[in-house]
Each structure stands twice: as C-alpha cells, then as structure tokens.
Amino acid sequence: MKRFRFIPDNLDLPFMRWRRLAFICSLGLIALSLAVFFLRGLNYGIDFRGGILIEVKIPASANISAMRDSLATLGLGEVALQEFGAPDDILIRVERQEGGEKAQLEAVSAIKSRLGEDFGSDLDYRRTEFVGPKVGGELISAGIKAVVSALLAMMVYIWFRFEWQFSLGAVAALLHDVVLTIGMFSFTGLEFNLATVAAILLIVGYSLNDTVVVYDRVRENLRKYKKLSLVALLNRSINDTLSRTLMTSITTMLALIALYVLGGAVIADFSFAMIWGVLVGTYSSIFIAAPCLILLNLRQSESQNDIATTDSKKSVRD
C-alpha cells in the first residue's frame, strides 16, 4: 500500500517571493500590537495586581465549577479556583479589595461564610494570605527578566552553533512572536498572569526549535549547492523542512485545542496563548527567520569556508 504523504515530495513553493509582503504584514502587526499595548495595557491577573489567597480542603464530592459560580455571586471581582496538588485541595484567588486590610478581612469572611453554607463547617482552611501590589510589581519585573534572559541565551547559542546572521535572524523571529503574543493579550483582554509568562517562554522555545530546523537545512544546503543563489537555496531549505514543520505544528495544535476545549477555565488562557504561539512561531520560522538572512547579507562563500573549517576540525579530532 502506498504511504500517504501530507506534503508531496519535491515541493517547490516560492516562499522568498512573498518575503516583502510578509515583512510588511509583520511590521504592521507589530506596530498595532505596540499601539494597543501602550493604549490599553494588559489585564494583569491576581499574581501581578495582588489579592487574597485561600487554600482549603473540601469534601471529595465537591464540584469546583459550582463552587466557582457560587463565589462569583459575592461581588468580590475576579475569583479564580484551581486544584492544588490533590482534587480535594483547592486554591482560591480573589482580586485585591479596595479599602485596605479591613476590606480584605471582610472578603475572607464572606468567602468562608459562603463555603460554610455550601459544604458545611468541616472545611479545613490550610492557609490564608494577602498578596500586596509590591509583590505583584516584583513578579512583573521577574517575568520580564526571564523573557529577556531567554532571548539573550538563545541568541548566544545560535551564534555559536551557526553565524552571527543566523543569530540575529532567530532573535528577530522570537521578538516578533513575543510582541504579537503580548499584543494579542492586550487586544483581547485575556488575563495576563504567571501562567502566561510560562506560555511566552514555551512559545519562544517552540519557535526557536522550528527556526533551528530550517537553519540547519540552510547550512547543509550551503555545502551541497555551492552555485545556487541564496534566494533559491532558502526556498529549497524551507520546502525540504516544510513537512516536518507542518506536521509538528498540527499535532501540537491538536493537543492544545483539546486542552482549550476540555481543560476548563483554569488553563483556557494558557492553552489559547500556546495555540496563538504555535501559529505565529510557525509563520515566523518561514517568513521572518529565513528572509532575515537575505537582509543581513549572508554570503555563501563565507558560510562555506566556515563549514569547511568546522569539518576539518572535526576530522582532526576524529
């Protein structure tokens, strides 16, 4: 039986012919993302704004969705519930109340009273904490440092593995993905919390993985097709890796869509961020990272000399 191929062999799509249109679209989306971010800002979650944390052990038969709906009627603003290590161990997060410490204590009293009405008085309150805005500011600073550090570390890695043109191209693609993801959160008003920061770091890693696959094939083809123009060589490299790129993206998307639809409200925003990240990461690997090599004037003669030098060093070690 003949094996089905999602991408036919010897595919020859002219990706580099569309690079100018792709750059224009990307620059427009980046400008729009920055404008929306500076005009509307982000909908920071409790992790960044500060609020109330309550950890409670509930009866095994309790329904978290029903508990969430019940607490939402108290008028305390945003209320988030999630399992914390075990199905009967629940972490309740409530946004910071206006009115100082007295307002926070009244909110805690209202939550405990409502839970007592719904589940009885035998609930085990394991901890009650107040997270101030100062802690939220420190978390924002730590999140920014984490993203920037990841970008710099990846730039150095690509620089050592390939050349400086590849390094700058990869970072340009990663910045493109990060800015568009932040713009998406600002535009949609989805909650931006610590899980979102984790999603951005995962998006950076996923996008870089796709970019490295394309760049690795570019480096191989620089050795293999010495007389081929750089535009034609990049087209061939992307077509060679297109099947792997699309199949990886599609299988990842299937898992993320399942998490988004079936995972509940706790991880919905995280799953949506990852779905968006896979889409823009796949796009940037093809239409941003590869065309940047043309803009950065990657010269095939220098690349071939570097490859030959690497091969000679390897043969000496062997």
Task: Answer yes or no: do 163 and 310 share one domain.
Answer: yes
CATH number of 293's domain? 1.20.1640.10
Q: How is residue 145 annotated by DSSP?
A: H
Task: Answer yes or no: do 143 and 182 share one domain.
Answer: yes
β 43-44/191-192 pair status? parallel
* End residue of a domain, out of 92, 109, 131: 131
Task: Answer yes or no: do 24 and 168 share one domain.
Answer: yes
* End residue of a domain, out of 114, 131, 148: 131
Kind plus residue range of the DSSP H or E element containing 116: helix 100-119
Task: Answer yes or no: do 108 and 142 share one domain.
Answer: no
Task: Answer yes or no: do 226 and 258 share one domain.
Answer: yes
CATH number of 121's domain? 3.30.70.870
Task: Answer yes or no: do 62 and 28 share one domain.
Answer: no
Side chain identity at residue 298, one-letter code: L
pLDDT > 70: percent of the chain:
85
pLDDT band at 176 (very low <50, low <70, confident <90, very high): very high
Task: Answer yes or no: do 184 and 305 share one domain.
Answer: yes
**Residue 4 domain flag:** no
**Residue 7 domain flag:** no
Task: Answer whether 54's CB lies under 8 Å from 127's CB.
Answer: yes
Angle, CA of 93, 96 and 99, to the nearest 5° = 145
* End residue of a domain, out of 100, 131, 162: 131
Q: Is 84 helix (H, G, I), strand (E, B) or coil?
A: coil
Q: Which tens digits make up the pLDDT trace of 292-309?
A: 888 887 765 544 444 444
**Residue 64 domain flag:** yes
State if pTM tops 0.85.
no
In the predicted model, what is the mean pLDDT of the chain? 80
Q: How many domains does the chain have?
A: 2
User: Higher-confidence residue: 134 or 188?
Assistant: 188
Q: Which residues, 6 or more positions from 265, have their beta carbon under 8 angstroms from its beta carbon?
A: 68
Closest to 162 measured CA to CA, from 207, 214, 216 = 216
Q: Which tens digits make up the pLDDT trace of 229-239?
A: 888 888 888 88
Task: Answer yes or no: do 27 and 143 share one domain.
Answer: yes
Task: Answer yes or no: do 67 and 181 share one domain.
Answer: no
CB-CB neighbours of 28 under 10 Å? 10
CA distances from 78 to 72, 149, 282 (A): 8, 31, 34
Range with the poorest average pLDDT among 115-119, 192-196, 240-244: 115-119
Side chain identity at residue 73, one-letter code: T
Task: Answer yes or no: do 290 and 200 share one domain.
Answer: yes
**Residue 3 domain flag:** no
**Residue 5 domain flag:** no
- What is the extent of the structural domain holding 234? 15-42+136-317
Report how far residue 275's alpha carbon sits from residue 249's, in angstroms, rounded to the nearest whole number.
10
Report how far residue 235's alpha carbon sits from residue 290's, in angstroms, rounded to the nearest whole number.
9
